Chains A and B, each alone.
Chain A
Amino acid sequence: MTTYEKSVPGRRGFISEQSDVPVVSLASIMGEENLRKTPAALPELAETDVVRHYTALAKQNFGVDTGFYPLGSCTMKYNPKINEALAALPGFLGAHPLAPDGMNRGCLRLLAELEEMLCEVCGMEAFTLQPAAGAHGELTGLMCIAAYFEKTGQTGRKVILIPDSAHGTNPASAAQAGFTVRSVPSGSDGLVDPDALRVAAEAAGESLAGLMLTNPNTLGLFERHIVEIAEIIHGAGGLLYYDGANLNAVMGITTPGAMGFDVVHLNLHKTFSTPHGGGGPGAGPVGANKVLAPFLPGKGEDSIGRVRAYYGSFGVLVKAYCYIRTLGGSGLREASETAVLNANWLLKKLRGAYDAPHGEWCMHEFVLSCAKLKAETGVSAMDVAKGLIDKGFHPPTVYFPTIVPESMMIEPTETEAPETLEAFASAMLALYEDAHVNPETLHNAPVTTPVGRLDATAAARNPVIKR
């Protein structure tokens, strides 16, 4: 039930005393024609009703504060509460971006230090903190690439190569930035094949603008030909874009700069422990090397200009700053090492039952296939995902990456205890048994939630978005 359905005419939280200020009619101030003819349809509820309504909704929610959330490629690590406490300090909370010069020095210093720290983690020359989220960062980075080619008189460079394992945002951002996208097929080992890339780069010729790459890629594999890949793209006159979605695997071990990338976007809500989605806005800082740094928003005369008002999602930036300062350089490296260790531990537990099409080792995440399970039992990756809900876990990412049939992409992150990983592995193996013994229970899952299996197909074919 919504608050509107719970509304009772005349019910109030507070009833104020009669005001001793003389009443002036609104019509005399604003003009009768500007007033609404009927009162706004607002729900009428007591404070008790409102608090219980939202508490009941909150109890139905599932998040990293309630349980394990192995949503692959999303890095659903725990968000330390100290970040929230520090971001809520009055000096940060009350800061206004238009405060007179000199009154926001502390905030500006924090932003400058955060830029420096992100430069060090990524091996980049400069960072902008403006972009509001990952895809916005992608667009910003690609606009910098476009501006570079314009500045250097190479406006014909319009083709961006993207591996078929990439996140869907990559081709979308490239198209939005005015580029033409060409997909590069992955090799049978799940990696970019340098020979195939060379062919694609040669085919694009003078129109090659660059390559967008996630490393480790969405299969959880490190693109080990990255140095050769960078040589191919740079040799053909293109630039390399690093999608930072999977930076959580390599912090303090290597950097996008060392791999040869020219521009990188990060997702602070993934790698740097700021909340996802409903916990606050995202933040997608963009870093660039010497070649592209002059084009970043707010960085010099070749800047592409502002991409967001003021200083980005400031509160989020404070939280990321706290996270980096809490862990320090060695702590960030340990976070990555533990993320990789946790993923490998889970992979080893699960690969005996589920198919792991890309080998026995992974970086911070891995991809299983339920194709064989589905052929044997009729139970799909979607059924297993729904079954996990009944076992108290958030499902992993399913049906992505699209190059693996019936895929499940699992990213445990570093913030989970061995007992949690063990419990999750047991649940997955129990579901595997269920699939063989009693597949019907999995087709009907979940049964423990307020609503059961939703008809995603009907919702997509006949969307009702307004009542």
Chain B
Amino acid sequence: MLYSQDHEWINVKGDVGTVGITDHAQSQLGDIVFCDIEPAGTVLSAGDTAGVVESVKAASDIYSPVSGEILKVNEDPADDPALLNTDPVANWLYTIRLNDPSELDGLMDEEAYDLYCRG
């Protein structure tokens, strides 16, 4: 699993990545009350807004860690945003077909991300 500076995780198998928000992100946001992801078929560049999550504290864009086309959106967090607080890894947000696997080189591994979060 790889991590972005914007606190998304991505798990890649072949040319398909599964994207979600990190545990650090959900703990910083607090109780999440809303989640909305762009529909399947949306084409994104790395860093584009793939959707938004809102907590009682803040609204926060989800930035796609990689470029590609959204294949599937997980509807569960939209129906019950609290799932993102209880398990942000099991409750992934969307899958994406990667255009450029070399973009993964710019992401962090778990150790680097831990250090990044501790700032």
Contact = CB atoms under 8 A, between A and B. Distances in A.
Answer yes or no: do A and B interact.
yes
Interface of A: 168, 398-400, 402, 405, 456-457, 460-461
A147 B33 CA distance: 38
Given A400-B58, A457-B33, 11 more contacts: A168-B59, A398-B57, A399-B30, A402-B57, A402-B58, A402-B60, A457-B31, A457-B56, A460-B31, A460-B33, A461-B81
B56 A460 contact: yes
Interface in B11-61: 28, 30-31, 33-34, 54, 56-60
Given A405-B28, A461-B33, A456 B58 contact: no
Most B C-beta atoms less than 10 A away, residue of A398, A456, A457: A457
Interface residues of B, number: 13
B82 interface: yes
9 contacts: A399-B30, A399-B57, A402-B57, A402-B60, A457-B33, A457-B56, A460-B33, A460-B56, A461-B31
Contacts of B28: 405
A205 to B, nearest CB: 15
Contacts of B33: 457, 460-461
Nearest to A171: B61
Interface in B68-117: 81-82
B3 to A, nearest CB: 17
A398 B81 CA distance: 22
Contacts, number: 24
Contacts of B30: 399
Nearest to B28: A405
Nearest to A188: B119
For the complex of A and B, list the 4 residue pairs with the smallest distance between their C-beta atoms, beginning with the closest: A460-B33, A399-B57, A457-B31, A456-B56
Contacts of B31: 456-457, 460-461
Nearest to A407: B57
Nearest to A185: B5
A461 B82 contact: yes
A460 B34 contact: yes
A328 B59 CA distance: 41
Q: Which of B28, B30, B34, B57 has the most CB of A within 10 A?
A: B57
Nearest to A400: B58
Contacts of A168: 59
Nearest to B33: A460
Contacts of B81: 461
Contacts of B54: 460
Nearest to B27: A405
